[in-house]
Structure 1
Amino acid sequence: MIEKLRAAIDAAGDAIGESFEISGVACMAGCDRPCTVAYYGSRKATYLFGDIDPETDIEDLVAFARQYAYLHDGWCSSVDRPGKLRKSTLARVPSSFIALEPTEEFTQ
């Protein structure tokens, strides 16, 4: 899947940006939902998607990469995510930058 995704991201060219990288890890603790993909950006929300099919979901992953590249904080609702990624989200983790900002709720 990594090679297919790399090729698709390369084919997308400037639509995604030069700083986008793809790397593999042996385990992302998604055993019940194999083929797990994460998107992480500095000062952005992190997303973890599971049950990804390397044969049919590459286009959705590339579409989300385009979207994610232009979201200043990485935050989007499930209805804004492409295709299968609307329902295969395992987690959305706020960036540590967002989590550390004081809010009215926590300062009172």
Structure 2
Amino acid sequence: MSDDAVLYVCTTCRMEGDAPDGPRAGARLYDALRAASSREGLRIEPVECLSVCKRPCTVAVASGDRWTYVYGDLDPVTSARVILDGVGLYAGTPDGIVPWRERPQEFRKGVVARIPPFPPRAA
């Protein structure tokens, strides 16, 4: 990756069937992503809530001057590889915008928000 990227993972996402005293789906997704990732320049950060509770599991990917994306409806067990592949595509762009047809199906269906890069400070 040319620039560092951050993958934020909502660890408080809860799915139907989660045991009340066991790890939530979001925490399981975070663990799966950490175990599957070997990408340099990618930080995987747990966050307590991305406020997309109706579409668990949820992640956000952000980097420097690129657009930020929020994705939901991800499976805590099977989505890790797809997410990491999608983040790799994202990192390969100058602006974070991966052409629609090149995005993993889960990213096409699960996109919650696209947020513009933070504007540079005025001089």
Letter in 2 for 1:62: L
Aligned to 1:45: 67
Does residue 7 (structure 1) correspond to residue 35 (structure 2)? The answer is yes
Unaligned stretches of 5+ in structure 1?
11-15, 101-108
Letter in 2 for 1:65: V
Shift in Å, 1:71? 0.8
Q: Give the distance between the partners of 2:31 and 2:84, measured in 1 at CA.
A: 13
Q: Which of structure 1's runs of 4+ aligned residues deviate more than 4 A?
A: none
Question: Across the two proteins, how many residue pairs are aligned to each other?
Answer: 93
Does residue 69 (structure 1) correspond to residue 103 (structure 2)? The answer is no
Alignment of 1:1-108 (within 5 A): 1-10=29-38, 16=39, 18-97=40-119
Q: Give the distance between the partners of 2:54 and 2:36, measured in 1 at CA.
A: 26
Q: CA RMSD in A?
A: 1.7
Q: Higher strand proportion, which one? A: 2
Do the aligned partners of 1:78 and 1:87 also contact (CA within 8 Å) in 2? no
Percent identity, please: 35
Q: Give the distance between the partners of 1:84 and 1:26, measured in 2 at CA.
A: 22
Shift in Å, 1:80? 2.0
TM-score w.r.t. structure 2 length? 0.69
Unaligned stretches of 5+ in structure 2?
1-28
Do the aligned partners of 2:89 and 2:98 also contact (CA within 8 Å) in 1? no
Q: Higher helix proportion, which one? A: 1
Shift in Å, 1:83? 2.5
Q: Secondary structure of the residue that 1:21 maps to in structure 2?
A: strand
1:45-97 per-residue CA deviation (whole Å, 9 max, x = no partner) reads 00000011011211210111111111111012332211211110001111124
Do the aligned partners of 1:45 and 1:73 also contact (CA within 8 Å) in 2? yes
Do the aligned partners of 1:80 and 1:86 also contact (CA within 8 Å) in 2? no
